[in-house]
Structure 1
């Protein structure tokens, strides 16, 4: 990873009040910092590049474990819940990370203008790819961090940087995966449509048959390809969405346990508490009381 990028991110975070994550003036661009290793955190990953500038972390998507360190990034192509943990950080060398959410409209526009565009893959593959983050992409990230010093220039200059990021991703080693995400015309996109339906109706009882119909697949094929893309079953995916939303309600809206359970689709508060403790490691009240100030800002942030 470029030492210049490291210095720029370190300088930016040194000047910021409050705690990480830092929501920047560029929409969809976040900067993370931690001076120590952290316990695992449940988050909702969105389609984005999740870059490690310094330190190291891991992420667990269903049954798939991914380790990544300086100069590496996760290319996340579909929204999914996951468990993440910073494992290498110190006061002298804090963990530093960047999140760049994708603008699919820009990506499609760039794809259409390429002389030799990559072809969208025809088969469903995993929704997360580990990639190297260096060269032109690291240069784009550096210019994004520097652009934060002149917020009045963001609306003029940032679109060009995003176009360049899309170009390098599409022309890089994972161009087919990125093209599939941008075009939305392959088998994976049918699964994504079902994921969106599951996300929008997470508090309802949704049958596998209904989701399979949205995905234009048989129930058995849908179940198999859903797990291939997300590394979890539809039921596991929905349960994690429900519990993440319930946690957000208790953190951000001060909802009590019973209200949160009902709003995310549970009929039994005791069943909700059991499943909540199984996922987060403690019953709802104890978990919420133990979370640090500012934890609410992490809910839904990759």
Structure 2
């Protein structure tokens, strides 16, 4: 049995034990399993730095102007927290889309980088990319999922699996992207900190000039580097975070559209409604109704 087949069997076993509920948040912090038939509408989420392995099926994910397509035997790697839209395009009841999401540990990534004899040199490529999987990375994922059968072994053995994943990624063809964002030069770390500020203070008015100064860059250089990293401008980034949080409030907080608009930083409910519809395809109230009672929703 090859490594991908072994991983698929392990994922199938996990879902069989949990009633095919998806997403499946496992006993390993940051290890998430996904199972789905083809989706009618894109899902909008805030992506954390992670290795997203397609075990079966196909999917696309977009970050601003960047659109990535990946399928069985491939993975998407996200190296900085940013909002994106995803949609399963290949998967059905007989052969559902299956994915293993492994969130990356920054501390272990830094430790591995510092111990490498020839660490990769940081470069300026986009913060998300697709790679073809090899047996080594798939084997790491299979071991991680396999540990779910031995909960007592997880705190002892999983850090070693994460360490190998970090090494394989840093030593691979895209290692420069991860090294720049996780353990790069001070300027790069401050750029990532600016992204975190936009994430945490999405409901406030933030001036690009202030973010640029905090990152030690001119406004022009900051704007250029931010867009190269995330495929969107700082204001587009903040807008997506605002709208995603408003959607969460509409669903879980029982808020009106107007209250959600003000809660996430909009001064104009009509502008909020226009931008919400542009992003999610429906006005806020109708979208919340659709999501609260989706017809024929797949597991």
Q: For the superposition of Structure 1 and Structure 2, which TM-score range results when normalised by the shorter chain?
A: over 0.9
Q: How far apart are residue 256 of structure 1 and its match?
A: 2.1
Please give the per-residue CA displacement for 1:223-282, whole angstroms capped at 9, x wherever unaligned: 111111111111111111100011111222222222211110012222211111111111
Q: Aligned match of 2:9 in 7, 10, 22?
A: 7
Partner SS, residue 99 of structure 1: strand
Instruction: Tell me what 1:79 maps to.
Output: 81
Instruction: Tell me what 1:36 maps to.
Output: 38
What is the rounded CA distance, in whole Å, between the counterparts of 1:106 and 1:216 in structure 2? 27
Q: How many residues align?
A: 292
Instruction: Tell me what 1:106 maps to.
Output: 108
Instruction: Tell me what 2:58 maps to.
Output: 56
- Whether contact under 8 Å (2:246, 2:261) holds in the other structure is yes
Residue 203 (1) aligns with residue 203 (2):
yes
Please give the per-residue CA displacement for 1:269-297, whole angstroms capped at 9, x wherever unaligned: 22211111111111111101101569xxx
- Whether contact under 8 Å (1:33, 1:96) holds in the other structure is yes
Instruction: Tell me what 2:233 maps to.
Output: 233
What is the rounded CA distance, in whole Å, between the counterparts of 1:145 and 1:208 in structure 2? 42
- Whether contact under 8 Å (1:42, 1:84) holds in the other structure is yes
What is the rounded CA distance, in whole Å, between the counterparts of 1:293 and 1:113 in structure 2? 51
Please give the per-residue CA displacement for 1:44-79, whole angstroms capped at 9, x wherever unaligned: 111111111100000111111111001111111111
Instruction: Tell me what 1:20 maps to.
Output: 22
Instruction: Tell me what 2:67 maps to.
Output: 65
What is the rounded CA distance, in whole Å, between the counterparts of 1:56 and 1:188 in structure 2? 32
Q: How far apart are residue 187 of structure 1 and its match?
A: 4.2
Q: How far apart are residue 185 of structure 1 and its match?
A: 1.7
Q: Aligned match of 1:45 in 44, 47, 59?
A: 47
Q: Please identify, of 72-81 and 255-264, the stretch whose mean Cα deviation from structure 2 is larger.
A: 255-264
Q: Please identify, of 184-193 and 70-79, the stretch whose mean Cα deviation from structure 2 is larger.
A: 184-193
Instruction: Tell me what 1:262 maps to.
Output: 262
- Whether contact under 8 Å (2:59, 2:90) holds in the other structure is yes
The unaligned stretches of length 5 or more in structure 1 are 295-302
Q: How far apart are residue 120 of structure 1 and its match?
A: 2.8
Q: Please identify, of 93-102 and 110-119, the stretch whose mean Cα deviation from structure 2 is larger.
A: 110-119
Residue 252 (1) aligns with residue 269 (2):
no
Instruction: Tell me what 1:127 maps to.
Output: 127
What is the rounded CA distance, in whole Å, between the counterparts of 1:268 and 1:161 in structure 2? 49
Partner SS, residue 118 of structure 1: coil
Q: How far apart are residue 160 of structure 1 and its match?
A: 1.0
What is the rounded CA distance, in whole Å, between the counterparts of 1:78 and 1:144 in structure 2? 22
Instruction: Tell me what 1:214 maps to.
Output: 214
Instruction: Tell me what 1:141 maps to.
Output: 141
Q: How far apart are residue 207 of structure 1 and its match?
A: 1.0
TM-score by length of 1: 0.92
Q: CA RMSD in A?
A: 1.6
Question: Would you identify which runs of 4 or more consecutive aligned residues in structure 1 move more than 3 Å?
Answer: none
Instruction: Tell me what 2:297 maps to.
Output: none
- Whether contact under 8 Å (1:37, 1:90) holds in the other structure is no
What is the rounded CA distance, in whole Å, between the counterparts of 2:280 and 2:79 in structure 1? 25
Instruction: Tell me what 1:152 maps to.
Output: 152
